[in-house]
C-alpha cells in the first residue's frame, strides 16, 4: 500500500476462523473478521478504506483502530510535575491535553514483524521515541503486539522501557460493533465493574469514585448499551468514562488479569469478552463519531454511536491525581500492559 508520503505495510493474521489486519502506520487494527452464529463472516471493527491509499487514517481525528500513547485520555491543564520538574504538553482539547497532543503515535510509521508460535500468530510493532517527544521526558523504546490464538482470543500486549522517569499509559482505540454496521445501542453489555470515575465539565476526573448501582452506569446485569445512554449529560453525551477493574488496588501491570466485561449482539450471535491487567477501562460509545469529516469504509460516513471502545490503561489525569494508581515508568522498570478480547458465538 502506498500513501501520499510513506510506504505502508498491512499484515493479516488468521487462526482459520477469525482473522485480523493491522498496519504499521499507527499500529492500527483495520479489520477484525469474526463468524456470526450462522457461519457468515462480519467485520466487527470500524475503519477507513485501505486500497490504494490510507488517506482516511492519515487525516482522521477519531484514532480509529490506532495505538494511543504516551498517555491515553486527558491530562488537565496540559501539564504535570514529575520529580520536581514541570512539563508542558499540547493543549489540543481546550486547556487540556487529549491522547498526548497534536503529534500522536497513530500518525507514526512503526516497524512491523509477524510471528507464529505455539498455536499463536501475530505481529509486533516497535518504535523509539526520543526524550522530549510530545513534551514527555525520557527516551522510550516501545513494543506493541497483536496476536490471535486457537481459543479465538485477540491479545493486545504493550511493553516499554525508558532511561528517565516518564508517564506511560498506552491503549488501542478500536471501535467495536458486533452487529457489523449501524449503531451499537441495541447490543447488550455486562460489566464486572461496579464503580467509575466522576468527571467535571471538561471530562477531567474529579478524583471521586462513584458507585454505579441503579444509575445509567450500572451494567451488573446485561442490558442494552442504549437503554439509559441519553440520561448522561454533556459534555460526554453518552459513555466516555473510566470504569474501575477488579485490579484497581492490587497487581496492576502484572501477569494477573481479570475479566472486565462483555458485549453481545443478538443480531449476529457474537459475544466478545474483555480481560485486562490494567486498573481502568475507558468506555467510549462513539458519541461524536458523526463529526468525523473523513468517510469510513466503503465511503460511508461514520454513524453517531456506531462503535464502542474499551480503552484499557491507567486512569485519566493520573499524573495530577496522587490517589490514582501510578502511571510513572522508571528506568529500572518494564512496562507491561495486556488486554484480551475473546470471541464466541452464543
Catalytic (active site) residue 173: yes
CA distance 3 to 10: 12
User: Is there a contact between 22 and 147 (Cβ–Cβ < 8 Å)?
Assistant: no
Mapped onto helix, strand or coil, the DSSP state of residue 56 is helix
Element (DSSP H or E) covering residue 55? helix 55-59
CA distance 257 to 338: 8
User: Is there a contact between 98 and 108 (Cβ–Cβ < 8 Å)?
Assistant: no
CA distance 138 to 161: 9
Which of the 8 DSSP states describes residue 239?
Answer: -
CA distance 343 to 150: 11
CA distance 167 to 136: 8
Give the torsion through C-alpha atoms of 275, 277, 278, 281, to 10 deg: 0
Catalytic (active site) residue 311: yes
Q: Which of 106, 292, 303, 311 is catalytic?
A: 311
Cis peptide, bond prior to residue 275, ω within 30 of zero: no
CA distance 340 to 307: 18
Q: Which of 173, 262, 292, 303 is catalytic?
A: 173
Q: Specify the pairing of strand 153-162 against strand 166-167.
A: unpaired
Which sequence positions are flagged as catalytic? 173, 311
Amino acid at each position: 500500500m502506498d500513501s501520499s508520503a510513506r510506504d505502508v505495510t498491512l499484515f493479516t493474521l488468521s487462526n482459520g476462523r477469525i482473522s485480523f489486519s493491522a498496519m504499521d502506520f499507527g499500529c492500527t487494527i483495520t479489520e477484525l473478521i469474526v463468524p456470526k452464529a450462522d457461519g457468515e463472516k462480519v467485520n466487527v471493527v470500524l475503519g477507513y478504506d485501505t486500497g490504494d491509499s490510507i488517506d482516511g487514517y492519515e487525516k482522521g481525528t477519531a484514532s480509529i483502530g490506532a495505538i494511543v500513547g504516551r498517555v491515553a485520555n486527558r491530562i488537565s491543564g496540559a501539564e504535570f510535575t514529575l520529580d520536581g520538574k514541570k512539563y508542558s504538553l499540547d493543549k489540543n482539547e481546550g486547556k487540556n491535553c487529549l491522547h498526548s497532543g497534536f503529534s500522536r503515535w497513530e500518525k507514526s510509521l512503526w516497524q512491523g514483524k509477524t510471528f507464529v508460535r505455539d498455536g499463536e500468530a501475530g505481529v509486533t510493532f516497535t518504535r523509539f521515541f526520543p526524550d522530549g517527544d510530545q513534551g514527555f521526558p525520557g527516551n522510550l523504546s516501545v513494543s506493541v503486539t497483536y496476536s490471535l490464538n486457537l481459543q479465538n482470543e485477540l491479545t493486545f500486549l504493550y511493553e516499554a522501557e525508558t532511561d528517565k522517569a516518564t508517564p506511560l499509559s498506552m491503549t488501542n482505540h478500536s471501535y467495536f460493533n458486533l452487529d457489523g454496521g449501524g449503531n451499537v445501542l441495541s447490543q447488550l453489555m455486562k460489566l464486572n465493574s461496579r464503580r467509575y470515575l466522576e468527571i467535571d465539565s471538561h471530562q477531567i476526573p474529579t478524583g471521586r469514585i462513584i458507585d454505579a448501582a441503579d444509575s445509567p452506569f450500572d451494567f451488573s446485569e446485561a442490558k442494552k448499551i442504549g437503554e439509559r445512554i441519553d440520561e448522561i449529560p454533556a459534555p460526554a453525551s453518552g459513555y466516555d468514562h473510566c470504569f474501575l477493574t477488579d485490579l484497581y488496588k492490587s497487581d496492576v501491570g502484572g501477569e494477573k488479569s481479570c475479566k472486565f466485561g462483555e458485549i453481545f449482539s443478538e443480531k449476529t450471535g457474537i459475544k466478545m469478552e474483555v480481560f485486562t491487567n490494567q486498573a481502568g477501562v475507558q468506555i467510549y460509545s462513539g458519541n461524536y463519531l458523526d463529526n468525523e469529516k473523513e468517510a469510513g469504509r466503503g465511503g460511508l460516513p461514520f454513524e453517531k454511536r456506531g462503535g464502542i471502545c474499551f480503552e484499557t490503561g491507567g486512569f485519566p489525569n493520573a499524573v495530577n491525581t496522587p490517589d490514582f494508581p501510578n502511571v510513572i515508568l522508571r528506568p529500572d522498570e518494564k512496562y507491561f500492559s495486556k488486554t484480551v478480547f475473546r470471541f464466541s458465538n452464543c
